[in-house]
Amino acid sequence: MMKTHLIAIVSFLTIVGGLFAAPANHAPITELKDLRAEEAVFTDASRTKPVVLKSLKNGAKYFDKEALAAISKAVDFEKQIVLLFSWKGSGQERLQYVVKESFPEQIMFSYKAGRTRDLRPHVKVYVLRSNVKWTIE
């Protein structure tokens, strides 16, 4: 009898926990890697002022068909936006972000300068939920 009640309670908690858990694919931010960008991205975006893509057709200027196909599979433009950062600089330069725990989440991007004199192109593509607030330090 006690065992039956325990199984019922555990089953109930498992079902209720699943209802209130956040979906795994709805993280506030994800990075899309290995996308080839067109040269136009370096004139329109920078490390401090990204291009904000709110639809796939806005990205046609910056990506080839292969990259656009990858973006269309990864992004739901009704619920998400794409931030496109680009710059040329040292190979050691980094663009990092921190997610502040609040609702909706806040994301702070920060730039770390490199020390080498090798000139490299940098392109970072981030997918954010549309209700997430973001800033750049």
Model confidence over 31-56: pLDDT tens digits? Answer: 999 999 999 999 999 999 999 999 99
3's tokens? 């065992």
pLDDT in tens, 80-117: 999 999 999 999 999 999 999 888 899 999 999 999 98
Average pLDDT, the chain: 85
Instruction: Give every strand in the sheet of 106-112, ordered side by side.
Output: 94-100, 106-112, 133-136
HSE at residue 57, side-chain half, CA atoms within 13 A, is 0
pTM over 0.85: no
The answer to whether the beta carbons of residues 24 and 124 sit under 8 Å apart is: no
Tell me the one-letter amino acid at 122: H
The answer to whether the beta carbons of residues 103 and 79 sit under 8 Å apart is: no
Which residue, 46, 72, 52, is CA-closest to 133?
52
Parallel, antiparallel or unpaired: strands 106-112 and 133-136? parallel
Q: Would you kindly state where each structural domain of the chain is located, as residue ranges?
A: 28-136
